Structure 1
């Protein structure tokens, strides 16, 4: 279970990266760069365990997907795809991966094929009664079972690939919303993906700032700032207000990491250095 909680006890000599490597070694996971250890910050927000810093105190971590590629079905190893499928199942069940009824039924039908094998009406009915994969599942049972019939003979590994193929096309795939307010005081959510920074109103995407369009990302206290190439003047900088400086910095760091992971190797070093900057932080992603 990739969401199993891991307790870390005080040891000033152990770096976050050392512990993360031990976890990945225990799982026999080679494509570990897509994952991370997340814990609850004293301010209440969730942050990633920093690999270059020592473990300063006992904390409780969750091992989860950190970087979502645009097509996770193309990941090389079956174990990595399996862990991604577990993440999709978790996000689906807790309601963070929202989708319409047809997509929800199709996702659950692939999960049933992976867990139970070929369709069996009595077994399917019993399993859906005992386990809830999506909110309001009781209204989708008939549709789920009808779709499950079509997956006869599909192996668990191929089910993972099909699950990821459906999930990656959903609007909320890979989205971890961060509440904020825009310049007019409207409540919105910010998110970062492989393509750039997104703005949501509820579950509706209202704006996309691709990495190619962003000139600089920064934060000042609890204000997150985006400067675009086509709006170079300071007065045209887009500004979003978040709950606190810690929350704002955490989101900015996540943007640094996403940009480095998906785009850093593609851009000249001069552009890389200028794009993601802030005041009062020396954080660098490695």
Structure 2
């Protein structure tokens, strides 16, 4: 896990977008549309920095730490060097903290590509020492032998190509790019909600039990801590589904994420006028640009 801390001196009324551009300039990041700035909200949950609002209106606590350039939109495409490197860093972080769920074989394969990128070709003594010192996955002590065996097969692969292979393995995982948001369905059952390029997903644990594609959704909204999905007329199920989340702030944060994903993956251009859309919600003027 790599942690980088950088201080930026900015005016109090600076817009989130201007601050984000400053961070991207510092990192020499060109494909910045796939990234975002994330910080811990006063309610305890992580939220994305809004680009059209001043920093002062979003971050109330002076000691708030912004985890910068976290991956916002997961894409399956070739990207330039810096962008690819940051995607690889995100995978390493998600693996180490357990947020990227996968089976032991996939975890061992991912770590073997990381070793090739960081250490170069297989060396038994070096590999063993490195795995003793560095924890890549929570249950690593049970996977060391499998990781080393797979690392042997990557001989001659460059660090850049190892990062590409890492992304190729990760993108095929069911939970890659999934950020579970705990909720309860209408019957009180504990589930997780997530949003992806295809629509809104419902998980029970790590098992996907339902998918609401953007084409099926008529409207998404929230009321207090209740998240509502209104579907186009379907004879086999209700046209409105309701999920309860921990608080209004958590619910609104997830709704905003849905707004961003829908705009990013479904809209060819930004609407010129504000009008009622699939994701409009009474009581919130949030827009993603």
Coarse TM-score class (shorter-chain normalised): 0.7 to 0.9
How far apart in 2 are the matches of 1:98 and 1:272?
39
What is aligned with 2:74?
Answer: 64
What is aligned with 2:93?
Answer: 90
How far apart in 2 are the matches of 1:162 and 1:61?
40
How far apart in 2 are the matches of 1:267 and 1:17?
16
**Which structure's relative contact order is higher, taking Cα pairs within 8 Å and 6+ residues apart?**
1
How many residues get paired?
Answer: 269
How far apart in 2 are the matches of 1:45 and 1:232?
37
Give 1:17 shift: 0.9
Unaligned runs of 5+ in 2: 63-72, 76-81
Secondary structure at the residue paired with 1:191? strand
Q: What is the Cα-based RMSD across aligned positions, in Å?
A: 3.1
Higher share in strand = 1
Secondary structure at the residue paired with 2:267? helix
**TM-score, normalised with respect to structure 1:** 0.86
Inter-CA distance 271–208: structure 2 relative to 1 (3 Å threshold): farther
The answer to whether residue 267 in structure 2 is matched with residue 264 in structure 1 is yes
**TM-score, normalised with respect to structure 2:** 0.86
Give 1:215 shift: 1.2
Greater shift, 117-126 or 271-280, is seen at 271-280
Give 1:280 shift: 0.4
Higher share in helix = 1
Inter-CA distance 7–238: structure 2 relative to 1 (3 Å threshold): farther
What is aligned with 2:14?
Answer: 14
The answer to whether residue 102 in structure 2 is matched with residue 99 in structure 1 is yes
Inter-CA distance 234–12: structure 2 relative to 1 (3 Å threshold): farther
Inter-CA distance 9–270: structure 2 relative to 1 (3 Å threshold): closer
Inter-CA distance 49–122: structure 2 relative to 1 (3 Å threshold): same
Q: Are the equivalent residues in 1 in contact too, given 2:74–2:177 (CA < 8 A)?
A: no
Q: Are the equivalent residues in 2 in contact too, given 1:35–1:64 (CA < 8 A)?
A: no
